Amino acid sequence: MVELFGIVMILGAVWLWLASLRARESAVEAARLACTADGVQLLDDTVALASLWPQRASSGTLALRRIYRFEFSDTGNNRLCGSITLLGAAVQALYLEPHRGQATGQERLVN
């Protein structure tokens, strides 16, 4: 019985790792597209996981809610912050810190 529990735990860890890789790829692509659309530069071409929690999707299924943070620049001489919220592998929200004289940050909700 202990061996079966160990195998299930290893398989669960592998599943979580693979799902996290897919979600991170989705977050990087969303950040890249948002930066391109706003005419800013995605710095380091990467995102960093800031939060990971289980949450119910609108369909009622349990999914992992991940928040990724990233940095971008509007002038090439500064670093501004942005974030992407994923539920499962789907982008739920994207935020870019105010830049180029914008009065407020831009938050995009995706449903």
**Tens place of pLDDT per residue across the chain (111 aa):** 889 999 999 999 999 999 999 999 999 999 999 999 888 999 998 999 999 999 998 888 999 999 999 999 988 889 999 999 999 888 999 999 988 745 445 555 555
Q: What is the CA radius of gyration of the chain?
A: 17
Predicted TM-score (pTM) of this structure: 0.82
Q: Which residue's entry shows tokens 């971008």?
A: 72
Q: Please state, in angstroms and rounded to a whole number, the distance separating the CA atoms of residues 96 and 86.
A: 15
Tell me how long the chain is: 111
Q: Which residue's entry shows tokens 């609108």?
A: 58
